[in-house]
Amino acid sequence: MRLFIFRSLRIASILAGTPVRGADDSARHERRGDEGLLVIRGKRQAAVGAAMVALLTVAACGTDDNNDSGGAGAAPSSKASTISCAKGSITGSGSSAQKNAIDEWVKAYQNACSGATINYQSTGSSTGRQQFISKQVAFAGSDSALKDQQKTDADARCTGGAAVDLPMAVGPVALMYHVSGVNGLQLSAQTLAKIFAGKITKWNDPAIKAENSAASLPDATIASVHRSDGSGTTDNFTKFLKGAGGADWTFDSGSDWKAPGGQGAKGSDGVTSTVKSTENSIGYAELSYAENAGLSTVKVKNAAGEYIEPSTDGASLGLSTAKVADGDDLKLTFDYATATKGAYPVYLVTYEIACTKGLSADQAALVKSFLTYTASDAAQSSIGDLGYAPLPDAVATKVRAVIGKLA
């Protein structure tokens, strides 16, 4: 506990001395020394500073005897100062949208827990769900909750238990584009629907010009890029087009791309690299991919009539009207037509799919321990500068309660 207080004081001291760059929305972090102390820069600094005060308050109320003795089976704590480690090796697969978050979490967990090895394969949500159902992996990452027959099959895989969808990270889906000389592109859901449906084929189409009167739009053919593999990102993007695009999007939503035309690319990294290398192109991927590639992103018009840049704050506002299912299977239902001011309307929640029972004792303990960490305040805060927003408090509380029941 003394070590925890000492480190917390050092973190708070560092934060207090770090200059605030209030206009910088691309917060970055640095690791300092062997202790892995985190310095947050950007507009999230104030929130992190408040979190440090809360942590110090908790620490001050305890004693050196307040060590976690619950092991991997202990109930999850939202403000745990240490990771309750388990041993062994597990593999997960699925969503590429959550890969950057998972990589960060795995690194932190394995640094703290030398006896654990966690492998995550970015196969796409559809493949991840299939591999979970066929018992090839201990958990799956998916940008869509299990549906109907998938849920039935996943429950059967979890002998003596059930499969549960656990929301774990929130992220904006960015519409990234590569059009020379065009900055600050603004598009409505209706215009985006027409572009990806192949109804608008030129960048200087009147519908695009009407939303970008000051832009010098080229008389060039639009190269739209979509996922070629089964993808939760595609599922969420097409749900947005269907929900907000109205009559301009006549195709069903789903993990597989259904509209004709365009160019397919595998994975979020494939879509991103294709857009980056293709002049006059537009595609979709999680914000972190667009930022890492240095691509421009579209300001998307929300139901309040505002053109909003993709951001974690905007995605959180968009998610604020989502409904959480009752019970332990925590599926979320989104309102893509929300008129919340400042809301970015294209976003996704990426889930971890796990068994309440049915794994070997060692695997069950490690899955529970790892997910306990990923749902903690510390882990949720650690991915803020990677293009993800933390779970809303009400959702996070339910997620931690369900993780506590895993056996």
Q: Does 96 carry a binding-site annotation?
A: yes
- How many other CB atoms are there within 10 angstroms of residue 248's CB atom? 21
* Residue 322 is assigned to a ligand binding site: no
CA–CA gap between residue 351 and residue 164 (Å, rounded):
9
The string over 180-213, giving b where at least 16 C-beta atoms fall within 10 Å of a residue's C-beta and e elsewhere, is eebeebbbbbbbbbbbbbebbeebebebbeebbe
**Residue 233 annotated as binding?**
yes
CA distance 103 to 105: 6
Q: What SS3 class is residue 65? A: coil
Query: Is 384 known as a binding-site position?
Result: no
Contacts (Cβ under 8 Å, ≥6 apart) of 46: 20
Is 95 annotated for ligand binding?
yes
Rounded alpha-carbon distances, angstroms, from residue 108 to 32, 57, 74, 312:
14, 24, 19, 22
E-strand ranges in 271-346 read 281-286, 296-297, 299-301, 307-308, 323-324, 332-333
Residue 255 among known ligand-binding residues:
no
CB-based contacts of 393: which residues, under 8 Å, 6+ apart? none
Q: Is 143 annotated in some ligand binding site?
A: yes
On whether 97 is known to bind a ligand per the annotation, the reply is yes
Annotated binding site for phosphate: 95-97, 125, 143, 231-233
User: Binding site membership: which residues?
Assistant: 95-97, 125, 143, 231-233
